[in-house]
Structure 1
Amino acid sequence: MAERTSSDPLLDLARAHGVATEFQEFNGGMRQVDAPTLVSVLGAMGVDASSPERVEVALRHAADAPWRRVLPPVVVVRQSDETQVPVHVTHGDPVQAWVEVDGAEGRGRRAAGAVAERIELAQADVLVEPRTVDGREVGRATFVLPPGLPLGWHLLRTSGPSGEAASPLAVTPDRLELPGALDEKRAWGLMVQLYSVRSRASWGAGDLRDLADLAWLSGHEAGAQFLLINPLHAAEPVPPLTPSPYLPTTRRFVNPLYLRVEDVAETAYLSSADRALVEWSAEQALALDSDDGPIDRDVVWAAKKAALEVVFAVPRSAARQSAFDDFRRREGRGLEDFALWCALVEKHGPPPWPADLRDPAAPGALRARTELADRVQFFCWLQWLCDQQLATAQRTAHEAGMSIGVMHDLAVGVHPVGADAWALGSVLARGASVGAPPDMYNQQGQDWSQPPWHPAELERVAYRPYRDMLRTVLRHAGAVRIDHIIGLFRLWWIPQGNSPADATYVAYDHDAMIGILALEAHRAGAVVIGEDLGNVEPWVRDYLHERGVLGTSILWFEKDADGRPLPPDDYRRLALSSVTTHDLPPTAGYLAEEHVALRERLGLLTEPVEQVRRAARAEREEMLAVLRERGLLGDDPTEREVVEALHRYVLRTPSVLVGVSLADAVGERRAQNQPGTDQEYPNWRVPLADGAGRLVMLDDLFTNARLRSLAAVLAEG
């Protein structure tokens, strides 16, 4: 391929759409992205770059696009900034601009009939030459948004002879401040795969009642201040259910698998015959609680769904029906579309579907809203129950003395044929998937199969699907962990049909993405933690720190310039620090080199097993030596003493949050997830057990000697 110059129109077009034309490889070298990949990525954005002539047309369109709009589709600013906003009108026409504070975008926070506050905007003396667009001479006026506008969603309005226009305006916090309690003392909490933690009343998988009980026991008995749980995003409504909580059908709504049937109010009013049906379903699922094999979500959901359908048929009281109706109105079209998708999957199986069901506005889908209205109502009702039981869990956490409570986890993306992919239209790019470039661990790169946000379309709809998702996740949360937070800055787009290596990065407006996240977290009173492990540029971590978003530090990954374990004093203060993470074996297993043995057994090693084992042993011995140097470990420690010493090491860091894997607390050795596998390992299906493989039930958790010993260590910190 001929060498390209910096003035190559294809490169200009790619840059105009935020598509990287070169990137730094894991070995430090710069790699130019080839022309076919750029053309394919642009095509996934709906930009035709298939010939030089079409590239020129697309470049002109990109240059003219802002001038075709009076206002940008959305404006996102920091509260303390003075921001200039371009306004496009027929050249020579006068125009005025103002902010309608907490206008229609405020979602009815003003009292009915109240008049919105109006803040007039001054025009800046900025000379911009007019531009001829579509045969019309268009001028640009520049207005100034003053600093100090109220936080929240407002409307930016303009009026003049050229007509009226309005755009949503988000005024976001400069910085998310920590809750007062964290300024005074760090908080520790348990990191939990909820489905794996079963009580004797669970139906084969941990549920939202178990979450509430675990929150109470963790806070009241052990002094924990938060519970970080796996994503609770919804899976498929019919088997087979995808086990991974990180590949959901939607990130906005909750998996009803986690419902506790007996906690639904209407179960108290079941007839004897209906109660027998529910109890019969429960018996089948309750028997799974003592099964030490992989968790079978399909059996659990079949039992719960059958029981919930019986309860759904029970008439609700006037107050309960009113509350349900309010929930449906508040959640709006998003909930109705998700419930319709569930009903359609139930009837037709998973997509692909016929063309008349291609999206929520297709003729067949519109008919189905009426034909399947009862099933749509059922799936809406399930989300209402999830919302209620999540509220109970968070309330219980606070009653137990937790300052933060439940910390939810937000996955990177969604299933390519899931509810969001069906309902969100052009806001998700159709011709590409998200993944990771080649690195030292995976030289082929990774394809996660998830469709990425389309940056321009997301901006066009004022980030509403993103905002709706955040609001739902944050509604009953004291904190949220954002998986792969670099995805709010840039994502690795793999064009359909390409390998993960034949791809490139696409940039997002991180000021808008992080600003909106900060605003919604501020409104919810929640802490935000960004998972910033791996290939994250230093400036990104600096930016997140500036905005008050906490980072993530894993002891085994934190190294100094010489590759030795990072001293505790050098850890970040604004971070959630822990010994391990869900993508590693629990610490007991890691120390025993289980991660090496497992990868050897599954054929995942790319180097000789003895070489990998030597490296793992050297890493372990180096860490043990550091612990001894700091007086945290004796000469002949037990496994429990090593695990506790590692946690004491993390407690010596300045990090405001310390996470403790529940698996570590009971001595579990098996990993919940083995990256690089699908069916070869029971990912996300391992029930909580101790080091001998004996199941540990929630009912017995806080009498567990290892957990109580580790909790005492944490209380010292």
Structure 2
Amino acid sequence: MKPLHALASAIGIEREWRDADGVERVVTDASLERIAAALGYPAHEPAAIEQSLERIEAEAEAVPAMLVTEVGAATPLPASLWPAHVTLEDGTRVPGSGWSLPPVQVPGYHRLEIAGHTLTLAVAPRRCPTPDDILPPERRGERLWGPAVQIPALRGASPACNDAYGTFEELAQAVDLFAKSGADMLAINPVHALFAGEGRDYSPYSPSSRLFLNTAFAAPELVGLPELDLPPLASGALIDWESALPRRLAALRALYEGLDAATQERVARDIAALDEDAREALERQALFDALDLHLHAKGKTGGKRGWRHWPEKYHDPEGKAARRFAREHPREIGFAMFVQWLARESLRAVQQCAHAAGMAVGLVGDLAVGVHPGGSDAWSMPGAMLEGLTIGAPPDPLGPQGQNWMLSTFSPRGLAAKGYAPWIATLRSALETCGALRIDHAFGMARLWVIPEGAPSSEGAYLTYPFAEMLRLAVLEAHRAGALLIAENLGTAPPDFLPALEQRALLDMRVLWFERAEDEGFIGAADYPAASVAMTGTHDTPTLAGWWSGRDLDWAQDLARLPQGTTRKEADLRRNWDRGLLWACLTHDRSTRPDPEETAPVLEAALDHVGKTPSRLAIVPLEDLLGEREQPNLPGTTDEHPNWRRRLDAPLAALLDEPTTQARIAALDKARKN
């Protein structure tokens, strides 16, 4: 084996991989060299490769910061660790024997004392909570349902709730409305922190930080504070983020400046009650937001956002310049900490409203797969994040050039070096305010397609991640939070990935459009597995009405996105064939198939189909309940399609009161409870 190939294997770069068609592909040596260097292992010449291999060997012999295992399993010890005993959280001491620790029966983070070292032993339960674990005894076995909503699209019942976009206040109203209709959960878009006050980078899947919240959603009225004093702004069918976000930031700042002494004391008390790590992380997030706003306003960033465009002296969060800024701008730091507190408290209030209204699960959160490379996480966690690499997807039939999501995420080496603390903190932040968590592109716990910065996606490669450790920690954190885990598993799964999820009781997503048999027909409702989430669609797929009417094909034609070599006429013929397959599956009879413009019968049949599945959870996008034709997001586009900008035509309460919508919701609820 060539030394470069040996180095790639040792790092975890997959030189050979199989594409969506099952064809074996080989990564070029040039790509291997660039990716290895970006991961911190120079490979430009034989001597550098030899030094990198020696470094990897030395790292393998070092004492790890954390060992991750699960209940009932013996834990093999690295050769560098011996002898050992474990002190459990309750003080019980368990001696080690042989070259492994004996099985530990108590989940948790335990202190491991070994060979003069003290480290953490993370012990996960064998599985995460299931629906029956969170349901009262009299409801066990029930099949639950709920809508999926895009928070900004919501309109509230009162004029005060009809601002430029929906916030946590409108979300609280939606929770109450759907709880009264029998829903036990409400899935939401990611609510991670974006760039403060920025009206351009507003995709919820390209956050600045996954540790903190989008403060533009904060709702003071949910925590007993006055409503924001917002000047009138036209609220049309599409959200004007560039006007709305700076406007709301100014209103939040005015609220902060007018806080009374009691509220100031309340905020300070809550922040002081955080543990040391959480408080330090909050301070760094506040420093990042304050610096970014300040430098942008001063024209020091070239009109761009993110730490990579700051003056170099601010690139180190522990550097003299950053610390001096914090000392000299206490009000800016205080404001940034306040709005994070406000967002967290108001979202927590929504989850409390959900439980008070009778929802068994409440909010279903969404953990994005990565973060903006110029955002807070990448700045505040140096060494833990990928540098010089972005993540995406390899070339496939639908995307011959592959996809570059222009996101960063954790470095496998950085995670291990930091004892997986960044992953644990990210999970805890997401699980703190929800009853279930969807892990976006869950394959990322096992491998990710990484691309050298500036290179096309086709020059990337799969990078393996510590799957066993990341999955076990996710299960442990879900156990501690009493929450369900949902794995977004759409696409080609890595080897042994799906069995591992099933063994640990994670629910996988079963989206109507992708549930096909070998003959390309749609599978029957009874064929959905119980340990799954049945869905009519996601934010990235056409709506039911949009697919049936061919609205998605209109967009594909207008944007030159039809499959390569396919004409619109051919696409229409294929869609017409697929309509027949879907209608046959949904109705099981020879009733006349509706015309493309006749979407109502298809909506009813599809909702009934999903409602009758054995899947323990069913999630239906709000757009499908309302019969909307436009989808919230069109993957692979930015400005060409109004992604994440659509709003409801009327207050949600009024839309849900329409007889056709009421009938759809009632039928879905009945199908789930039969």
Correspondence 1:493 to 2:441: no
SS at match of 1:480: strand
1:248-284 CA-to-partner distances (Å, cap 9, x unmatched) read: 111111101111244453439xxxxxxxxx53xx232
C-alpha separation between the residues in 1 aligned to 2:501 and 2:389? 27
1:583-634 CA-to-partner distances (Å, cap 9, x unmatched) read: 1222111110000001111222232111112112211121112223258x66
1:655-708 CA-to-partner distances (Å, cap 9, x unmatched) read: 1111111111112111111112111111010112xxxxxx13123133122321
Deviation at 1:315, TM superposition (A): 2.6
1:333 pairs, out of 247, 268, 280, with 280
Alignment check: 8 A CA contact 1:324 1:381 kept: no
1:109-141 CA-to-partner distances (Å, cap 9, x unmatched) read: x8xxxxx3332222x1xxxxxxxxxxxxxxxxx
Q: Give the aligned partner of residue 17 of structure 1.
A: 11
C-alpha separation between the residues in 1 aligned to 2:594 and 2:20? 39
SS at match of 1:86: coil
Deviation at 1:577, TM superposition (A): 1.0
Alignment check: 8 A CA contact 1:484 1:530 kept: yes
Q: Give the aligned partner of residue 459 of structure 1.
A: 416
Correspondence 1:79 to 2:71: yes
Larger deviation, residues 178-187 vs 434-443: 178-187
Deviation at 1:329, TM superposition (A): 5.3
What amino acid maps onto 1:72 in structure 2?
A: P
Deviation at 1:330, TM superposition (A): 6.7
Correspondence 1:304 to 2:248: yes
C-alpha separation between the residues in 2 aligned to 1:183 and 1:500? 46
What amino acid maps onto 1:209 in structure 2?
A: E
Correspondence 1:54 to 2:41: no
Structure 2 CA distance for partners of 1:541 and 1:656, relative to 1, 3 Å: same
1:178-197 CA-to-partner distances (Å, cap 9, x unmatched) read: 13237411101001111101
Alignment check: 8 A CA contact 2:171 2:350 kept: yes
Structure 2 CA distance for partners of 1:52 and 1:685, relative to 1, 3 Å: same
Alignment check: 8 A CA contact 1:604 1:676 kept: no
C-alpha separation between the residues in 2 aligned to 1:529 and 1:234? 22
C-alpha separation between the residues in 2 aligned to 1:467 and 1:583? 28
Q: Give the aligned partner of residue 107 of structure 1.
A: none
Deviation at 1:35, TM superposition (A): 0.8
Q: Give the aligned partner of residue 569 of structure 2.
A: 610
Highest CA radius of gyration, 1 or 2? 1
1:676 pairs, out of 631, 636, 643, with 636
SS at match of 2:77: strand
SS at match of 1:305: helix
Deviation at 1:340, TM superposition (A): 0.5
Q: Give the aligned partner of residue 172 of structure 1.
A: 124
C-alpha separation between the residues in 2 aligned to 1:550 and 1:544? 8
Q: Give the aligned partner of residue 238 of structure 1.
A: 197
Q: Give the aligned partner of residue 232 of structure 2.
A: 284
Correspondence 1:376 to 2:333: yes
1:525-569 CA-to-partner distances (Å, cap 9, x unmatched) read: 100000101122463111111111110111111111111111222
Deviation at 1:218, TM superposition (A): 0.4
Correspondence 1:555 to 2:555: no
Larger deviation, residues 76-85 vs 144-153: 144-153
Correspondence 1:404 to 2:371: no
Q: Give the aligned partner of residue 656 of structure 1.
A: 616
C-alpha separation between the residues in 1 aligned to 2:191 and 2:261? 26
Q: Give the aligned partner of residue 525 of structure 2.
A: 568
**For structure 2, which runs of at least 5 residues remain unmatched after alignment?**
297-304
Superposed counterparts of 1:314-329, under 5 Å: 314-317=259-262, 318-327=265-274
1:27-67 CA-to-partner distances (Å, cap 9, x unmatched) read: 22111111111111111110011111221222222223222
Deviation at 1:219, TM superposition (A): 0.8
1:123-179 CA-to-partner distances (Å, cap 9, x unmatched) read: x1xxxxxxxxxxxxxxxxx3x2222332111221124xxxx2122211001111313
Bigger relative CO (Cα 8 Å, ≥ 6 apart)? 2
Q: Give the aligned partner of residue 292 of structure 2.
A: 345
Q: Give the aligned partner of residue 301 of structure 2.
A: none
Correspondence 1:708 to 2:652: no
What amino acid maps onto 2:73 in structure 1?
A: D
Deviation at 1:713, TM superposition (A): 0.9
Q: Give the aligned partner of residue 86 of structure 2.
A: 99
Deviation at 1:26, TM superposition (A): 2.2
Structure 2 CA distance for partners of 1:538 and 1:628, relative to 1, 3 Å: farther
Superposed counterparts of 1:350-365, under 5 Å: 350=305, 351=307, 352-365=309-322
C-alpha separation between the residues in 1 aligned to 2:456 and 2:110? 43
Q: Give the aligned partner of residue 299 of structure 2.
A: none
1:469-502 CA-to-partner distances (Å, cap 9, x unmatched) read: 1101101110000110001100001012321001
C-alpha separation between the residues in 2 aligned to 1:549 and 1:252? 22
Alignment check: 8 A CA contact 2:272 2:279 kept: no
C-alpha separation between the residues in 2 aligned to 1:29 and 1:304? 51
Superposed counterparts of 1:63-462, under 5 Å: 63-67=57-61, 69=62, 71-88=63-80, 96-102=83-89, 116-122=91-97, 124=98, 142=99, 144-159=100-115, 164-180=116-132, 181=135, 183-199=140-156, 200-202=159-161, 203-220=163-180, 222-267=181-226, 279=229, 282-285=230-233, 287-288=234-235, 291-292=236-237, 294-313=238-257, 314-317=259-262, 318-327=265-274, 331-349=278-296, 350=305, 351=307, 352-462=309-419
Structure 2 CA distance for partners of 1:179 and 1:363, relative to 1, 3 Å: same
Deviation at 1:320, TM superposition (A): 4.8
Correspondence 1:478 to 2:435: yes
C-alpha separation between the residues in 2 aligned to 1:242 and 1:547? 36
2:29 pairs, out of 22, 35, 41, with 35
Structure 2 CA distance for partners of 1:591 and 1:636, relative to 1, 3 Å: closer
What is the number of residues matched between the two proteins? 646
C-alpha separation between the residues in 2 aligned to 1:258 and 1:627? 38
Larger deviation, residues 176-185 vs 319-328: 319-328
Q: Give the aligned partner of residue 105 of structure 1.
A: none
1:524 pairs, out of 481, 485, 488, with 481
Deviation at 1:364, TM superposition (A): 0.9
SS at match of 2:119: strand
Q: What is the TM-score of this pair, normalised by structure 1?
A: 0.87
1:502-524 CA-to-partner distances (Å, cap 9, x unmatched) read: 11100011011111111111110
RMSD: 1.9
Structure 2 CA distance for partners of 1:330 and 1:246, relative to 1, 3 Å: same
Alignment check: 8 A CA contact 2:594 2:601 kept: no
C-alpha separation between the residues in 2 aligned to 1:672 and 1:456? 36
Alignment check: 8 A CA contact 1:217 1:400 kept: no
Q: What is the TM-score of this pair, normalised by structure 2?
A: 0.92
Structure 2 CA distance for partners of 1:636 and 1:312, relative to 1, 3 Å: closer
Q: Give the aligned partner of residue 691 of structure 1.
A: none
Structure 2 CA distance for partners of 1:451 and 1:154, relative to 1, 3 Å: same
Deviation at 1:712, TM superposition (A): 1.2
